[in-house]
Amino acid sequence: MKELPLSFLDRMQNELGEEYPLFLKEYEKEPIRGIRLNPLKCSIETLRHSFPFPLENSVFSPLSFVFPKEGGKVGQHPLHHAGAFYSQEPSASAAVTALNPQQGEKILDLCAAPGGKSTQIASLLKGTGLLWSNEIVKSRASILLSNIERMGIGNAVVSSCRPEQLCKALEGFFDCVLVDAPCSGEGMFRKDDRAIEEWSPEHSQSCAVRQRAILESAATALRPGGRLVYSTCTFSPEENENTVLAFLEKHPSFELLDTGLSGGRPSMEKMRRIYPMDGGEGHFVALLRKKADGDTPKRFSAYMPQPVLMKKDAESLWNEIMKIPFPSYIGQSGQYIYILPQNMPDSRGLGILRAGIQAFEIKGKRLEPCHHLFTSALPDSLRNRINFAWNAPETAAFLRGEELDISQSLKGWTGVSIENVMLGFGKASGGKLKNRYPKGLRNHV
């Protein structure tokens, strides 16, 4: 069994009572492994057919599944590359299940990296509304951005901004806010030795101070009548229930709602706790609502994109690649042209890394398509596409960045899909496909 901090164990024994031996026994077991389906790109039938291990439904989300511990490195599975699923232990999906995103809503994920909960929100928005994913640490925000791109999400804004700055600028803008707060990580002890090494009672206290500040910011960004989910992956009452109760005492305009979760167990009031013996790792979830106050909703200036200098060229290239109409809402930033999300507010000074789909790159006097254009495309919207089985040798070769032998009839930019899930693209000429799968994403085996 892992060697856990004694002060942590003493607190858990007091908290769990006669269930404490069951809790300890879980640390003799391997962590539960899971994935979450991305319905924007893949059906459950395709996933079950292509996944080499049986998938068992999770109680924490209808999109989440458990698979056997001998499942291997699923991050190298071709469908993972294609964004058909996200590798996520099942109980981590509970917070978004409680948030219950509805199509058309504007949702802020305030502490979003590495992107598990953001991509889950996007899968429920189904391309409608607006997802704003923020991560204050720039290096982590880059990982978040990569996952947004891989999962084919086009209605997202990714930013790296201080929560207080972002939420003040967008005061009252969002229908929902998720605060998956940075925490002491006690719930991750079974799967992350570093979390054990970094833990201390003092660290937990400092996390609680930071969490309360983040919650204050989140409250500002939420419209009257909107929903807020606060979640952590720790067991500490100071970081969980006490943080929520302190917030409610300070903000009588908020009320606590039932999370609606069936997994885990009730905590104080209507909050929810998940322990390892509940079929996941450790999580805490609370759902709050900001009472409607009858005030006129605040109006926001629309985002005004930079004009696209090569718009005619972009439209021409689009029509060369796509069967569907050229999008009307586009903008340019640096050498890239973007297809922008609808309902995007003025976001100057908010550390935007990307808004919408990075569609084209300007290279001198010509344009080339970007990876995100193909990962976000529906397979049947492309003029040229080749499809392979997930376990075909061509799939493995493409993921290694190799040139492929293809039909002589294919010419120009060509999408590559596996099991009809978009993976990437290349350029076809003379019976060869020159590979454009990004070098940093390629397999090396």
Q: Are 6-290 and 383-441 the same fold in CATH?
A: no
Please determine, for residue 445, whether its predicted confidence score (pLDDT) is greater than 80.
no
Please write the tens of the pLDDT for every residue from 217-261.
999 999 999 999 999 999 999 999 999 999 999 999 999 999 999
Please determine, for residue 293, whether its predicted confidence score (pLDDT) is greater than 90.
no
Residue 297: predicted pLDDT: 67
Helices marked H in 257-349? 311-321
Please write the tens of the pLDDT for every residue from 301-355.
788 888 899 999 999 999 999 999 999 999 999 999 999 998 899 988 999 999 9
What's the half-sphere exposure (Cβ side, CA atoms, 13 Å) at 118? 32
DSSP calls for 9-39: HHHHHHHHGGGHHHHHHHTTSPPPEEEEE-T
Computed over every residue of the chain, the mean pLDDT equals 95
Residue 90: predicted pLDDT: 93
Mean pLDDT across the stretch 262-268?
A: 89
- At 296, the pLDDT band (50, 70, 90 cuts) reads low
Residues annotated as catalytic are 233
Task: Specify the CATH number of the domain 383-441.
Answer: 2.30.130.60
Number of H helices, E strands in the chain: 14, 23
Residue 295: predicted pLDDT: 66
Mean pLDDT across the stretch 177-203?
A: 95
Task: Specify the CATH number of the domain 6-290.
Answer: 3.40.50.150
Residue 222: predicted pLDDT: 97
Residue 149: predicted pLDDT: 98
Please determine, for residue 2, whether its predicted confidence score (pLDDT) is greater than 80.
no
Domains of the chain: which residue ranges? 6-290, 311-345+357-375, 383-441
Please determine, for residue 70, whether its predicted confidence score (pLDDT) is greater than 90.
no
Residue 155: predicted pLDDT: 98
Spatial strand order in the sheet of 56-57: 56-57, 64-67, 33-37, 85-87
Residues in the chain, total: 445
- At 46, the pLDDT band (50, 70, 90 cuts) reads very high
- At 434, the pLDDT band (50, 70, 90 cuts) reads very high
Residue 58: predicted pLDDT: 96
Helices marked H in 37-137? 44-50, 78-81, 94-99, 116-125
Q: Is 104 left (phi over 0), alpha (psi -120 to 50) or beta?
A: left
